Amino acid sequence: MAARGGSSYGRRPGAALIDPTARPHPARLSVVIPCLDEAAVLSTTVQRLRDCLGPREGLELELVLVDDGSRDGTDGVIRRLSDGDPGIVGVFLARSFGQQAATSAGLRFASGDAVAVMDADLQDPPEVLLAMLDAWQAGADVAYGTRRTREGEPVVKTLLASAYYRVLARLSEVDVPLDTGDFRLMDRSVVDALCAMPEQDRFLRGMVAWLGFSQVPVPFDRAPRAAGHSKYDLARSASLAIDGLVALAPAPLRAFVAVGAFGVAVGAIGAVAAAWQGSWALAAFASVWLLGGVQIALLAVVGEYVARALREVRRRPPYVVREVVGPSVAGAKVRPGGWGHDTPVPTVVSARS
């Protein structure tokens, strides 16, 4: 197996890169940008994308801006940008469903031959998309950004993120690239397969890794936010981390089988030792605390899995689209698939061109 992060990462056994001459020319690139309170920077992001990708010969650019229930006027900025511009689609969710759900919504409305995902705050430099496009046109199905540095982020957060991805890579049943977020460019075939996956709790970077296809890294230096503040506080970051572990790694449940066996063994040894010394009270106290702690932790882990299984059984969509503005009307661009073969696409309450 090739080293993680190498150019053969994620490639199906025996599968070669497709013939790059099969890529469409001219090509249409959709850039999906989930937005939560990004009014201060969104216009700058759109202009920088146009300045960067506009001069590229043989490339048609579509921007899919998804408002994830913003409260700072981001929806107004999206309406202004999309007004009379056939290259911008505005997708407005009924409330804030989270970044992963908002990104999924944008993917369903993206119509490009290739689709990129990036943050609105310019921490993902638009110029890196040029290198990703080169990789796609050379035959890669997925070009994902790997962070060499994370300028402007607290050292503790950087260290915790680095440690988490290494733990996830160890525990996961699929190869998950290190130091990688959702910043990536995907071929249409990958996007269609991703949209057809029925998960309610969506951990997109892990889902793309699970899909396979030919995937190559594109190293870049993550920039500081151009404006505003990070929406990923400790609670949101912890929730996303748990989503990744539960979605990709059965190891937490399996680990507690070993922990439980260890606890029983330690309790038994402690009881024998205490009996040998004639201290039954100490033995009982130690055993209750040890086994009780193990059982509580195990129940918490099992409860997390059960709660997620309940959400899957309910078959509620991960998001609801309130309105769409731009060249697509009545959800005409929404791709088929997602949430099961017999499940309709997410509700679009209204649309206008």
Report the CATH number that the domain containing residue 103 is assigned in CATH: 3.90.550.10
Mean pLDDT of the chain: 74
Give the whole-angstrom CA distance, residue 299 versus residue 293.
10
pLDDT above 90 (res 197) = no
Give the whole-angstrom CA distance, residue 14 versus residue 105.
33
Express each pLDDT in 297-312 by its tens digit.
677 667 666 766 666 6
Domain assignment of residue 9, yes or no: no
The residue among 209 and 236 whose pLDDT is bigger is: 209
Domain assignment of residue 3, yes or no: no
Q: Provide mean pLDDT across the span 214-242.
A: 68
Domain assignment of residue 11, yes or no: no
Q: Are 48 and 243 in contact (CB under 8 A)?
A: no
Q: Are residues 268 and 162 part of one domain?
A: no
- Number of neighbouring beta carbons within 10 Å of residue 51: 11
The b/e string for 288-308 (b: 16+ C-beta within 10 A; e otherwise) is: eebeeebeeebeebeeeeeeb
Instruction: Kindly report the backbone phi and psi dihedral angles of residue 177, in degrees, each rounded to the nearest multiple of 5, phi listed first.
Output: -65, 145
Domain assignment of residue 14, yes or no: no
Give the whole-angstrom CA distance, residue 116 versus residue 247.
23
Domain assignment of residue 60, yes or no: yes
* Beta-strand relationship, 142-150 and 180-187: antiparallel
Give the whole-angstrom CA distance, residue 249 versus residue 312.
17
Q: Are residues 244 and 260 part of one domain?
A: no
Output the pLDDT for position 338.
38
Beta bridge pairs of residue 32: 64, 117
Q: Are residues 174 and 79 part of one domain?
A: yes
Structure tokens at 212: 């396979």
Lowest-pLDDT choice from 2-11, 58-67, 160-169: 2-11
Domain assignment of residue 1, yes or no: no
Q: Are residues 198 and 305 part of one domain?
A: no
Q: Are residues 224 and 167 part of one domain?
A: yes
Domain assignment of residue 89, yes or no: yes
Q: Are residues 179 and 301 part of one domain?
A: no
Give the whole-angstrom CA distance, residue 307 versus residue 237.
19
Residue numbers of the domain that contains 278 = 252-314
Domain assignment of residue 303, yes or no: yes
Q: Are 197 and 207 in contact (CB under 8 A)?
A: yes
Which ranges of 174-250 would DSSP assign to H, the alpha helix? 188-195, 204-211, 234-248
Q: Are residues 138 and 224 part of one domain?
A: yes
- Between the alpha carbon of residue 337 and those of residues 122, 196, 208, the distances in Å are 31, 4, 16
Output the pLDDT for position 199.
79
Q: How many domains does the chain have?
A: 2
Query: Binning pLDDT at 50, 70 and 90, where does residue 47 land?
Result: very high
Give the whole-angstrom CA distance, residue 248 versus residue 257.
18
Q: Are residues 230 and 107 part of one domain?
A: yes
Question: Which 8-state DSSP code applies to residue 347?
Answer: P
Lowest-pLDDT choice from 21-25, 205-209, 252-256, 330-334: 330-334
Q: Are residues 305 and 183 part of one domain?
A: no
Question: Which 8-state DSSP code applies to residue 22?
Answer: G
- Between the alpha carbon of residue 155 and those of residues 152, 158, 163, 181, 183, the distances in Å are 9, 5, 12, 17, 21
Q: Provide mean pLDDT across the span 162-182.
A: 69
Q: Are residues 241 and 182 part of one domain?
A: yes
> Tell me, what amino acid is at 131?
A
Q: Provide mean pLDDT across the span 220-234.
A: 64
Q: Are residues 257 and 186 part of one domain?
A: no
- pTM for this structure? 0.69
Beta bridge pairs of residue 67: 35, 92
Q: Are residues 275 and 175 part of one domain?
A: no
